[in-house]
Chains A and B, each alone.
Chain A
Amino acid sequence: MDVTILLVEDSPTDAAILSAAFDDVGCHGPIQIAHTGDEALTFLKQFDNSIQAYPQLILLDLNLPGKTGHEVLEEIKRNVIWQTIPTIVLSSSATPNDIAKSYRLHANAYITKPTNFSDYQQIAQKIQDFWLKTVQLPQNL
């Protein structure tokens, strides 16, 4: 089954909140959760020699055990194929440095994690409306 979203998130709570939010807004495409950066990269590698389509969207937390979110982002954006997958940083940090560094590493967007569930729902709705329904993505995905 094709995976729509790859969510790189070490916190099961945050992953569950986001999954529930996507569920609520009617985005039922499968979400694959990777708990570490390495897990995410291994997951992406398996598509390289497969007929399966790559995920349409990567949601990336910055504060990860092992490889940091920024390091994972750098590796994704260095790979000629992976770099075409829209990668959105989703972090608790609203630190200007974290934001600037993410965009320098070619993140497609940066979203600060909210606290309220209703805000999560809004974000899920907007991501779905824009990244999964509005934009045209390259063919190789």
Chain B
Amino acid sequence: MQDNQRADSLINRAFQALLVHRQTTYLVVDRQNHLLHICGDCLSLIATQTELTIGKDIVHLLPTSLRLPVKTSLQQAKKHGDAKHSGQVTRTDSHAYSVTIEACLHPANQTTEEFLTILIEREPGDGPFVTETTELIEVNKRLRAEILDRQQAEQQLAQKAEALAHSNADLEEFAYVVSHDLQEPLRAMTAFSQLLSQRYGQHLDTSAKRYIKHIVDGGTRMKAMIDGILELSRINSTQWNNTLTDLEQALKIALENLKLIRLETHATVTHNALPGLYIDKNHIVQLLQNLISNAIKFRGSAPPHIHITAEPQARGWLFSVHDNGIGIPQDQQNRIFKLFQRLHNQQEQKGYGIGLAICKKIVEHYQGEIWLKSSPGEGSTFYFTLLIDAYQDET
């Protein structure tokens, strides 16, 4: 008896292995198509739990695509003893494969009543199902590893963002200290030199007065540089208030701010149609103003003429500011966006090398870029991009 049981379970396991290997599902039903036994559902065709499905009509337990061929096979097998059909099974990942269905009638004998078997076998050449499962497991593993990697990367990114916020706060603190503490000794230098020349001027000779002028000039330059550092650091810390801004309006404000120097130099500024953008008004005014003021500052012998254009890109806008000024040699063009980089000595041109550094910061705030095309004697064209959509009229 025990030997029999052992043999039964051995045969059972071997049968299961065969079904798996052949990618086959083997079902036993009665004459009313009621499921009696599932010998192996190696194609996962019966979706619900085994204990719930025993006794139910097999046709309704199968995927829709198999119902008709299985039903027909069973009908024919009941008449002729056996029948063979083919069908399609659609996997959950919407991949389909072909199967052959064989139904067979087993008449009653001394030990068993009449029953039918249904063999549903995956057709060869449709790819090994088992291998695909292993592949799927592999892919899953890789995906999990990737998710883990991404989570770690995100965490690192969050840490970096925090560190950056910290360093920004440090920078603001630094700017504040600079604004207070560096300016005090600077004021002492400048103001007392001036006081000296005012009150004791009659006792000083020309060179003494010239020395005092150098001290005062140096102090004034240093003050402008400190103000520049502050302005640059404040760009990061100030609130950016993006509102619908008509860039033609912004240009008007910039030109108004530059009225004096424009009139002095007989500068003309023309432009093509400019868009309305969701942008911080003050910063776009400053951007245009700095570029125009540079174009005027570095003018040639002819009165400065500046032309501004804007054209939409696939993403954002491309702007250009063209002038007829002295131009900039190729090898110096990269330097000019850096802080305090000046291409001319102080006698030639006023400027502290801050304006373009500020322009770069503003453009970068809008994920844009700034660059120029220029050669000496032929003027310069500054280009910048702003990755902002043009305002769509919502009303």
Q: How far is the CA of A83 from the CA of B230 in the complex (A)?
A: 33
Query: What is the distance, in angstroms, from B82's C-beta to the closest C-beta of chain A?
Result: 91
- Say which size band chain B's interface belongs to: 20 to 34
Query: What is the distance, in angstroms, from A4's C-beta to the closest C-beta of chain B?
Result: 22
Check A127 for interface membership: any CB of B closer than 8 A: no
Total count of chain A residues near the partner, CB < 8 A: 21
Which residues of B are found within 8 Å of A20, using beta-carbon distances?
195
Interface residues of B (CB under 8 A from A): 176, 179-181, 183-188, 190-192, 194-195, 198, 216, 219-220, 223, 230, 234, 238
Q: Is the CB of B184 within 8 A of A14?
A: yes
| A11 to chain B: closest residue by CB | B184
Binary per-residue interface labels of chain A (38-55) against chain B in the complex, 1 for a CB within 8 Å, 0 otherwise: 000000000000000000
Q: Is the CB of B184 within 8 A of A116?
A: no
Majority secondary structure of chain B interface residues (helix, strand, loop or mixed):
helix
Which residues of A are found within 8 Å of B187, using beta-carbon distances?
13-14, 17, 92, 113-115
Q: How far is the CA of A20 from the CA of B238 in the complex (A)?
A: 36
Check A96 for interface membership: any CB of B closer than 8 A: yes
Which residues of A are found within 8 Å of B223, using beta-carbon distances?
115
From A13, A62, A94, contact of B188 by CB (8 A): A13
Query: What is the distance, in angstroms, from B141's C-beta to the closest C-beta of chain A?
Result: 54
Q: Is the CB of B238 within 8 A of A115?
A: no
From B179, B186, B195, B234, contact of A115 by CB (8 A): B186
Q: Is the CB of B180 within 8 A of A115?
A: no
Which residues of B are found within 8 Å of A17, using beta-carbon distances?
187-188, 191-192, 195
Q: Is the CB of A92 within 8 A of B179?
A: yes
Sample of 12 A–B contacts (CB below 8 Å): A13-B192, A14-B187, A92-B184, A94-B179, A94-B230, A115-B187, A115-B190, A115-B219, A116-B191, A117-B191, A117-B198, A118-B194
Which residues of A are found within 8 Å of B184, using beta-carbon distances?
11, 13-14, 92
Check A122 for interface membership: any CB of B closer than 8 A: no
Which residues of A are found within 8 Å of B198, using beta-carbon distances?
24, 117
Q: Which 4 pairs between the two chains have the least Cβ-Cβ distance? A: A117-B194, A13-B188, A117-B191, A63-B180
Which residues of A are found within 8 Å of B216, using beta-carbon distances?
116
When A95-B176, A95-B179 are in contact, do A117 and B186 touch as well, CB less than 8 Å?
no
Q: How far is the CA of A91 from the CA of B188 in the complex (A)?
A: 14
Check A108 for interface membership: any CB of B closer than 8 A: no
